[in-house]
Chain A
Amino acid sequence: MRDELKILLYMNSHDRMLNNTLTGIIKSSAPGEAIALALRFSQLKKHVCQLPREIDLAVLLAKDKQQLNELLSLKSFLDGTPLILILPDLDKESVSEATRLYPQFITSIDSDFYPMREILGRMVQLKKTRCLQ
C-alpha cells in the first residue's frame, strides 16, 4: 500500500524550455507525489512494461508522428492508466491516432498548457482519492 501516487512523465525531446515547462507543471500539479521521468523510449518501456504496474498516471509527449507511433506500440501496456497526451499538433490524423490510446486529455506542444495544468491537478486529486480511500 503506497501513500503517494507515481506519475510518469515521458519527454524524449531536446527542447529544454519545453522540458522545463512540463516538469514544472507536473511538480506544481502533483505536489508531494512521486514523479518518474523517462527521457528515452527505452526508459518509458521499462516503466510501463513491468508487473505489477506502478504508474498511476502518465503524461506522455510525442514531439512528432514517429514518437506517437512508438507510444501506440505500447497501447496494451498503457491501457488502464489515465493518460495525458501532448501531440505535435492537433490535426485530424494526429488526434485520431491518439484516441486509440484512450487518453483523458489531449493537447499539443504549441499549447499554453494552462488547461493541461488544471486538468492534471484534478486528475491527481481524483486518483488519489480513489486509490487511497
Chain B
Amino acid sequence: MNAMANVLIIDDDMQLCQFLSQSVEKLGHNATVAHTIEEGYNLSLAKEFDLVLLDLQFPQGSGFDILPDLIRVPSLPEVIIITGSGVQGAELAFKYGAWDYVQKPFTFREIALNISRALLYRNEKVSARTPLTLKRLKIIGNSHSMNSCLESVAKASATDVSVLITGETGTGKELFARAIHENSKRAAQNFMVVDCGSIPETLAESLLFGHEKGAFTGADKQRKGLVEQVEGGTLFLDEVGELPFTIQKSFLRVLQEKKVRPIGAAKENLVDFRVVAATNRNLEQMVEEKTFREDLLFRIRAMHIHLPPLRDRGEDICDIAISNVQRLCQQYKIGIKGISPEFLEILKAHRWPGNVRELLNVLEHSIAAAGGDPTLIPKHIPYQYRAAAFKDDGSINMEGARQGIDLLEENEEIPDLSTHLDDTTKNYLNSILIKAKGDWKKASALSGLSKTKLYVLLKKYNLPRFKS
C-alpha cells in the first residue's frame, strides 16, 4: 500500500470540509470532499479510499444511512464518524462498524491523531501477511520487548509506510532500520544512510536534493542528491531530530509529492524511496519548542518502533553475549571460546548505559584480552566493569569473590579479603580518575560518592587528588 492515503470527507459544512481537507493534506494524504451523503457514497464506489470521514447530520438524512454500505464498498475503507451528539452517536458509530469517532469541535492535533491511527491500523490490516521468516540480521534476543519490536519490524517490512525508530544511544536503531529494509520489497535497492547530525545547514539542500552545474559557486558539475541516489530503496535518516529546521519544509514536500527539484534545475524529478528515521531525542518536545515541524513528525511517524534499553531486557544479555562471542571468534578467525558463568554474571550485573553497543565493545575487548585462553572468565573483562559490578553489589558480593578466585587461580596465591577489596577499590578509583579528567563534579557524579568521601579514599590509596 502506498504511503500516501486517499481520504474521503463527507460533510455538508463547507468550512469544516476545508479544515479537514487541509488537515488531511498536511498529513501528506489526498483529500476528496463530498457535501451530500449521496455524492459521498457514489464517490466511494467510483474511487478507492483508505479512510472516510463521515458526518452524521445532513439536511437529507443521517450519515448512518450509508454507513453499513460504505464500509462494504470494494476498497473496504476505515470510517471515522464526525459527531456532535457525544457518546450516543459514538456507540451507534461503533455498532455500525466505524473505526473511530471524533466529537465536534476538534483541533488539528485531535483529528490528526485519529487519522494517523486509522491509517496505521489499515496498513497493518492490509499487510497482515507478515514474512514467514524474518531476517533478523544481528538482532539478538527473545525477551518479550524484543519480540514485540521484531513483530513491528515484520509489519513495517510488509508495508511501505514511513517508520520512526526511537531509543537510547546504542540500542540498535540503525540495525532495525536495516532489518526493515532487508525484509521489505525494496531489499534489492539501496539503503542510504543520512546522518542528519553531520550535515551542515548550508549544504543540506544540495546534499539531499542535488544541484545543477553552475547552480551556485563551486557547483562545477551536476550532482544527484541523496534522495535520488536511493533509487527505489530506503533512505535512513539517522538522528532525524538534527535535520536543519530550514530544510524540514522542503523535505516534507519531497516526501509528500515524491518529486525533487535539484538546486538550479528547471524541472522536478520523480523519486521513489521509503523513509525510515531514527532518533534518541523527544521529537514531540521539539515540536513544542518549535525546533521540529509537526507535519514532518506526522509524516515520518506513520509507524513507530521504540527500542528498549538493554537494562530493561536483562534476560537477553546472555544470548547477546554468547551469540556475539561466537560470531566475533569466527569473523576474526580466533578459535571458538567458551564463556564462564561468572563472566556472564558480571555482564548481567552491569546497567549498560551505552546499551548493546557498549556490551559489544566489552565483548571485543574481552576476546582480545583472552588471547589464546579457551574460555572467557571475569579477568578478561575490562577492569572498570569488574570494579563497577563489584561496587553495585555491595561490599561483599559473590561476583567480586568469584572474580577474585578466577584471578587468583592463575596467580596461585590468595590474598585475604581485605587486601582484595583494597585492590578492587583502588582499580575503581583509578578508572574514575581517568574518566573524570580532574573534574571533581564528574568524579562525584560517576562514582556516586561525595567530594569528601572521594578525597578520603584517594588519600587512603595514595592516588593523585584533584587540583581544587
Partner pick for B199 among A51, A102, A119, CB 8 A cutoff = A119
Report A91 CB to chain B, min CB distance, Å: 10
Instruction: Tell whether, in the assembled complex, residue A102 and residue B364 are in contact, meaning their CB atoms are under 8 Å apart.
Output: no
A50–B333 alpha-carbon span in the complex (Å):
10
Which of B216-224, B256-264, B417-425 has 4 or more CB atoms under 8 Å from chain A?
B216-224
Report B328 CB to chain A, min CB distance, Å: 7
B69 at the interface (CB under 8 A from A): no
Report B208 CB to chain A, min CB distance, Å: 12
B191 at the interface (CB under 8 A from A): yes
Instruction: Tell whether, in the assembled complex, residue B332 and residue A99 are in contact, meaning their CB atoms are under 8 Å apart.
Output: no
B427 at the interface (CB under 8 A from A): no
Partner pick for B197 among A77, A90, A126, CB 8 A cutoff = A126
| Chain A 100-114 per-residue mask, 1 if CB under 8 angstroms from chain B, else 0 | 001111100010101
Report B223 CB to chain A, min CB distance, Å: 7
A117–B223 alpha-carbon span in the complex (Å):
17
A122 at the interface (CB under 8 A from B): yes
Partner pick for A96 among B224, B231, B368, B435, CB 8 A cutoff = B231
Q: Which residues of A contact B365 (CB under 8 A)?
A: 51-52
Q: Which residues of A contact B198 (CB under 8 A)?
A: 104-105, 119, 122-123, 126
Q: Which residue of B lies closest to A112 (CB)?
A: B218
A76 at the interface (CB under 8 A from B): yes
A3–B431 alpha-carbon span in the complex (Å):
13
A94–B198 alpha-carbon span in the complex (Å):
23
Q: Which residues of B contact A110 (CB under 8 A)?
A: 221
Q: Which residues of B in the span 211-236 have a Cβ within 8 Å of any Cβ on A?
A: 218, 220-221, 223-224, 229, 231, 233
Q: Which residues of A contact B437 (CB under 8 A)?
A: 3
Instruction: Tell whether, in the assembled complex, residue B191 and residue A51 are in contact, meaning their CB atoms are under 8 Å apart.
Output: no
A17 at the interface (CB under 8 A from B): no
A-B Cβ contacts below 8 A, count: 73
Partner pick for A52 among B178, B197, B220, B368, CB 8 A cutoff = B368
Q: Which residue of A lies closest to B239 (CB)?
A: A126
B395 at the interface (CB under 8 A from A): no
Instruction: Tell whether, in the assembled complex, residue A95 and residue B197 are in contact, meaning their CB atoms are under 8 Å apart.
Output: no
Interface size class of B (residues with CB under 8 A): 35 or more
Instruction: Tell whether, in the assembled complex, residue A118 and residue B200 are in contact, meaning their CB atoms are under 8 Å apart.
Output: yes
| Chain B 355-366 per-residue mask, 1 if CB under 8 angstroms from chain A, else 0 | 001001100110
Instruction: Tell whether, in the assembled complex, residue A90 and residue B364 are in contact, meaning their CB atoms are under 8 Å apart.
Output: no
Partner pick for B223 among A3, A51, A80, A90, CB 8 A cutoff = A90
Instruction: Tell whether, in the assembled complex, residue A112 and residue B220 are in contact, meaning their CB atoms are under 8 Å apart.
Output: yes
A51–B233 alpha-carbon span in the complex (Å):
33
Asked if A92 meets B200 with Cβ closer than 8 Å, knowing A1-B434, A1-B435, the reply is: no
Q: Which residues of A contact B206 (CB under 8 A)?
A: 115
Q: Which residues of B contact A77 (CB under 8 A)?
A: 331
B43 at the interface (CB under 8 A from A): no
B339 at the interface (CB under 8 A from A): no
Q: Which residues of B in the span 342-368 have a Cβ within 8 Å of any Cβ on A?
A: 357, 360-361, 364-365, 367-368
B207 at the interface (CB under 8 A from A): yes
A14 at the interface (CB under 8 A from B): no
A53 at the interface (CB under 8 A from B): yes
Q: Which residues of A contact B431 (CB under 8 A)?
A: 1
Report A32 CB to chain B, min CB distance, Å: 15
Q: Which residues of B contact A95 (CB under 8 A)?
A: 190, 229, 231
Instruction: Tell whether, in the assembled complex, residue B193 and residue A51 are in contact, meaning their CB atoms are under 8 Å apart.
Output: no
Report B215 CB to chain A, min CB distance, Å: 14
Instruction: Tell whether, in the assembled complex, residue B229 and residue A123 are in contact, meaning their CB atoms are under 8 Å apart.
Output: no
Report B126 CB to chain A, min CB distance, Å: 29
Report B174 CB to chain A, min CB distance, Å: 7
A115–B205 alpha-carbon span in the complex (Å):
12
Q: Which residue of A lies closest to B206 (CB)?
A: A115
Report B139 CB to chain A, min CB distance, Å: 14
A112–B178 alpha-carbon span in the complex (Å):
31
Q: Which residues of B contact A39 (CB under 8 A)?
A: none
Q: Which residues of B contact A104 (CB under 8 A)?
A: 193, 195, 198
Asked if A51 meets B368 with Cβ closer than 8 Å, knowing A95-B229, A118-B200, the reply is: yes
15 contacts between A and B (CB under 8 A): A1-B435, A51-B328, A51-B368, A52-B367, A52-B368, A53-B364, A95-B190, A96-B190, A96-B231, A99-B233, A102-B193, A104-B198, A105-B195, A115-B207, A126-B195
| Residues of B bordering A, CB below 8 Å | 169, 174, 178, 189-193, 195, 197-200, 203, 206-207, 218, 220-221, 223-224, 229, 231, 233, 328, 331-332, 334, 357, 360-361, 364-365, 367-368, 431, 434-435, 437
Further pairs besides A1-B435, A52-B367, A106-B229: 9, Cβ < 8 Å: A51-B367, A52-B361, A95-B190, A99-B190, A99-B192, A104-B193, A110-B221, A122-B197, A123-B198
Which 5 A-B pairs have CB atoms at the shortest separation, nearest pair first? A122-B198, A51-B368, A99-B190, A52-B364, A104-B195
